């Protein structure tokens, strides 16, 4: 009964359009929990801070979950060398101190940053997002060493092992560049700037050749790297390479901008202009491709094969990143913060959820993503968005007395597929909320800036003591509330320009900074509060032969009827041909006598759409064997261990092999017209979900580059498991043509030693 009363009050507040306190002392109240005074209350459970260095919780996890819950945190490490927070809220102080305490745990003996209690080592994306949030200034030396460990011997940024063999199926490694430049802005270390410039440039130059296609960036959604968790089940890892994610694109826009700024600071004017223009052009193209004005949000990614479509889900990190790095106009940024769905537990990784998939990336809140969302809401001036975002980070930190990795959006619990305590990027986000929002600390090349965003619910006086900036110690006090600064004094002297650098890039001595806020009422903005919606299941489609259609339309393809399984509680279906929506129906079949690539989307009564079904083509196609084929395996890069010692399943008289040492694979064809080209290949060098032996090659038509073919791993020793590469559109003039598959320098993968696959045939499909 208690929980129901709280929910009723909170929903009433939401309906009124403002985050009013549902009970005396409430700071944040949603349909799921309350932050009241020094406590978090969620139904029958409560967590509270008896002091600034202790949190006690009586939360009980889902029964039989593999990971136990700690009921108490108490300071274990010496955190006296880090900025000390003083505020009127004991719970805030304790959560902040827990972040520092766990940060100390995260620094390994080799001065690298450990990813989490259950995740050893340095991961490129994890450490980079953490450095951007707060590790750059709290752990600058560990940040530097960690970044240096994520560089290949050839001077490229390492893409961590992942789907289909890492890069280029996953292509978000460029977040390293943004983190490396953030570290430079903190330290001002010129040697570091000169070190990172060629690494970023080399990595981006390779990406230009392999992942930049049609005005966006190919590859997996940044950090959401467990493919079934965010993609339809029919998608192969090669389909993920061919997809284009908004947030991975946003990372590349920021990386290009960073490269331009570094070039300018190093006096490389031509490079600075070149990369600035590339960043601007890519950004404009991404907005055009992903912006959905009818929803007021960006689409998550494109997917499909021959004719990609958008996945209209809202994804939180990419949109927050675009706002924070000035990739969208102010009006669009504000619209995004008002329209991204927010559940009672906070912003989802993406929305809506996938119905038949357990919680991890799907159906989950990750506190570090919520922290980026808080920063984005503060930038747009969305006060309620900031408060609910802070609550979504502080609630689990208090109830679970650690900075856990992720939480189930159905009940706020840690019962997900994988989890970890002491998670680096989550503790980094926890700390960033205090430093970057409530104290408004940012780092620029001209010095340290201070521009706090203090919601009225957090009005008061708070201070940071001993904040280190380039060897100087700074004490900062912020009085009042609002998003406008009334005045700033530094060592007792009032600044004339409150928008400039408060502490110069070359500080001298120590500083005492006092910021007085204007106590202004921030213009109200909306929060799109919603239940945790699940999308319908994905239709399973097939082609069949309809004799009546064939009789009345002799030119129709043999497979001329599209059929699919009925989905329970569905309101109807949308049929697509060649990526275009051509029909709506309540039936489970469709006349496909017009040749094309067909898909079906299910729509429920509320208009929520399923994933599109696997693309099925009834266009004519032809297989072309390599000009010379052999079944003798001669690669020096791998040892073959196929089932029974023999490779089966290839067509004709054999297949070709490609590795570092073999000659290009050649196809001679006699054709004209428009085609999609792909290869039938096998890669048994590694599992589907990890390692780094994705094979990459460049396809040339008559000596002219036509595109990249990617041959991801399909399972250890699975040399009989033949799959298709991505599709490359080409237009061929009448006559004979030579198509070659070659390994270029920019095709080198993350493994460096093994870049190998076998090729059965070239498949040419009419378009």
722 lies in the same domain as 589: no
- Position with higher pLDDT, 585 vs 65: 585
- The rounded percent of the chain whose pLDDT value lies above 90 is 90
Over 60: is that where the pLDDT of 257 sits?
yes
What pLDDT sits at residue 24?
Answer: 55
**pLDDT band at residue 66 under the 50/70/90 scheme:** confident
Counting Cα atoms < 13 Å in the Cβ hemisphere of 226 gives 10
Chain position carrying tokens 């479509």: 309
Q: Assess if residue 66 is contained within a domain.
A: no
Report which DSSP code applies to 482.
B
699 lies in the same domain as 564: no
584 lies in the same domain as 656: no
What pLDDT sits at residue 6?
Answer: 32
What percent helix, strand, coil does the chain show, rounded to 5?
30, 30, 45
Over 70: is that where the pLDDT of 9 sits?
no
- Closest to 477 measured CA to CA, from 101, 83, 90, 53: 83
Q: Assess if residue 605 is contained within a domain.
A: yes
The residue among 573, 588, 610 that closes a domain is: 610
Work out the widest C-alpha separation in the chain, in whole angstroms: 92
Q: Assess if residue 9 is contained within a domain.
A: no
The residue among 280, 304, 339 that closes a domain is: 339
- 540 in Cβ contact with 613 (< 8 Å): yes
**pLDDT band at residue 63 under the 50/70/90 scheme:** low
602 lies in the same domain as 631: no
212: left (phi over 0), alpha (psi -120 to 50) or beta: beta
Instruction: Give how many domains the chain has, as a whole number.
Output: 3
Q: Assess if residue 431 is contained within a domain.
A: no
Give me the phi and psi of 398, to 5 degrees please. -75, -50
pLDDT per residue over 286-319, tens digit each?
999 999 999 999 999 999 999 999 999 999 999 9
Gyration radius from the chain CA atoms: 28
587 lies in the same domain as 639: no
Over 50: is that where the pLDDT of 625 sits?
yes
What pLDDT sits at residue 23?
Answer: 54
570 lies in the same domain as 681: no
The rounded distance, in Å, linking the Cα atoms of 289 and 299 is 8
Q: What is the CATH number of the domain that holds 596?
A: 2.60.40.10
Full residue range of the structural domain in which residue 585 is found: 539-610
Q: Assess if residue 700 is contained within a domain.
A: yes
**Among 8-17, 246-255, 653-662, 745-754, whose mean pLDDT is lowest?**
8-17
735 lies in the same domain as 682: yes
631 lies in the same domain as 592: no
The residue among 339, 368, 394 that closes a domain is: 339
**pTM (2 d.p.):** 0.95
Average pLDDT, the chain: 94
Q: Assess if residue 761 is contained within a domain.
A: yes
Report which DSSP code applies to 469.
E
- Position with higher pLDDT, 4 vs 471: 471
Q: For the residues 544-553, what does the mean pLDDT come to?
A: 85
Q: What is the CATH number of the domain that holds 260?
A: 1.50.10.10
- 251 in Cβ contact with 207 (< 8 Å): no
Q: Assess if residue 579 is contained within a domain.
A: yes
What pLDDT sits at residue 642?
Answer: 66
Q: Assess if residue 297 is contained within a domain.
A: yes
161 lies in the same domain as 305: yes
- The rounded percent of the chain whose pLDDT value lies above 70 is 96
What pLDDT sits at residue 16?
Answer: 34
Q: What is the CATH number of the domain that holds 647?
A: 2.60.120.260
661 lies in the same domain as 711: yes
What pLDDT sits at residue 641?
Answer: 67
In sign, the C-alpha dihedral spanning 478, 480, 481, 482 is negative
571 lies in the same domain as 706: no
653 lies in the same domain as 744: yes
């Amino acid at each position: 009964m208690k929980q129901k009363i709280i929910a009723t009050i909170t929903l009433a507040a939401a309906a009124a359009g403002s985050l009013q306190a549902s009970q005396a002392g409430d700071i944040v109240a949603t349909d799921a929990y309350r932050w009241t005074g020094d406590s978090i209350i969620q139904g029958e459970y409560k967590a509270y801070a008896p002091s600034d260095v202790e949190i006690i919780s009586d939360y009980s996890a889902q029964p039989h979950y593999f990971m136990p819950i700690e009921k108490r945190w108490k300071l274990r490490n010496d955190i006296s060398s880090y900025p000390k927070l003083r505020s009127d809220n004991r719970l805030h102080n304790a959560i902040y101190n827990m972040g520092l305490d766990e940060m100390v745990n995260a620094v390994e003996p080799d001065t690298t940053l450990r990813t989490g209690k259950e995740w050893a080592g340095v991961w490129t994306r994890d450490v980079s997002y953490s450095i951007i949030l707060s590790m750059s200034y709290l752990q600058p030396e560990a940040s530097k060493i960690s970044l240096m460990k994520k560089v290949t011997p050839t001077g490229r940024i390492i893409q961590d092992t992942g789907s289909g063999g890492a890069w280029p199926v996953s292509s978000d490694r460029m977040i390293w560049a943004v983190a490396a430049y953030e570290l430079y802005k903190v330290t001002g270390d010129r040697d570091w700037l000169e070190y990172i410039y060629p690494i970023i440039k080399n990595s981006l130059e390779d990406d230009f050749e392999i992942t930049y296609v049609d005005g966006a960036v190919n590859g997996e959604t940044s950090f959401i790297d467990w493919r079934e968790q965010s993609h339809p089940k029919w998608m192969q890892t090669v389909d993920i390479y061919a997809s284009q994610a908004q947030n991975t694109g946003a990372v590349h826009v920021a990386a290009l901008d960073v490269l331009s700024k570094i070039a300018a600071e190093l006096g490389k004017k031509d490079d600075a202009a070149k990369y600035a223009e590339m960043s601007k052009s890519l950004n404009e193209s991404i907005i055009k491709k992903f912006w959905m004005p009818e929803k007021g949000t960006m689409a998550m990614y494109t997917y499909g094969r021959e004719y990609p479509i958008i996945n209209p889900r809202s994804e939180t990190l990419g949109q927050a990143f675009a706002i924070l790095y000035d990739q969208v106009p102010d009006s669009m940024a504000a619209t995004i913060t008002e329209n991204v769905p927010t559940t009672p537990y906070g912003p989802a990784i993406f929305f809506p959820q996938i119905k038949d998939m357990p919680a991890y990336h799907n159906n989950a809140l990750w506190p570090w993503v919520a922290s980026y969302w808080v920063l984005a809401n503060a930038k747009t001036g969305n006060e309620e968005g900031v408060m609910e975002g802070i609550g979504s980070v502080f609630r689990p930190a208090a109830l679970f007395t650690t900075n856990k990795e992720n939480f189930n959006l159905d009940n706020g619990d840690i019962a997900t597929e994988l989890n970890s305590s002491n998670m680096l990027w989550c503790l980094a986000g926890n700390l960033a909320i205090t430093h970057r929002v409530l104290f408004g600390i940012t780092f620029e090349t001209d010095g340290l800036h201070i521009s706090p965003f203090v919601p009225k619910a957090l009005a008061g006086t708070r201070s940071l003591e001993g904040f280190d900036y380039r060897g100087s110690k700074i004490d900062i006090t912020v009085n009042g509330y609002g998003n406008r600064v009334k005045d700033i004094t530094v060592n007792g002297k009032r600044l004339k320009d409150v928008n400039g650098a408060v502490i110069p890039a070359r500080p001298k001595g120590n500083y005492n900074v006092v910021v007085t806020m204007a106590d202004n009422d921030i213009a109200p903005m909306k929060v799109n509060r919603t239940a945790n919606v699940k999308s319908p299941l994905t239709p399973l489609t097939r082609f069949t032969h309809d004799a009546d259609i064939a009789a009345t339309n002799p030119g129709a393809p043999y497979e001329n009827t599209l059929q699919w399984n009925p989905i329970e509680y569905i309101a109807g279906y949308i049929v697509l041909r060649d990526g275009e929506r051509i029909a709506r129906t309540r039936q489970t079949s469709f006349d496909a006598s017009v040749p094309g690539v067909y898909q079906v989307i299910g729509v429920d009564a509320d208009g929520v759409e399923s994933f599109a079904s696997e693309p099925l083509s009834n266009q004519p196609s032809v297989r072309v064997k390599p000009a010379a084929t052999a079944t003798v395996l001669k690669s020096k890069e791998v040892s073959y261990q196929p089932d029974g010692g023999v490779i089966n399943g290839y067509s004709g008289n054999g297949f070709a092999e490609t590795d570092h040492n073999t000659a290009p694979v050649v196809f001679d064809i006699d054709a004209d017209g428009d085609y999609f080209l792909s290869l039938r290949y096998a890669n048994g060098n590694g599992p589907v979900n990890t390692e780094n032996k994705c094979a990459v090659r460049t396809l040339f038509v008559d000596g002219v580059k036509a595109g990249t073919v990617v041959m991801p791993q399909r399972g250890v020793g699975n040399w009989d498991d033949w799959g298709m590469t991505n599709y490359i559109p080409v237009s061929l003039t009448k006559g004979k043509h030579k198509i070659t598959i070659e390994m270029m320098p920019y095709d080198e993968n993350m493994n460096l030693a093994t870049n190998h696959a076998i090729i059965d045939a070239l498949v040419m499909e009419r378009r």
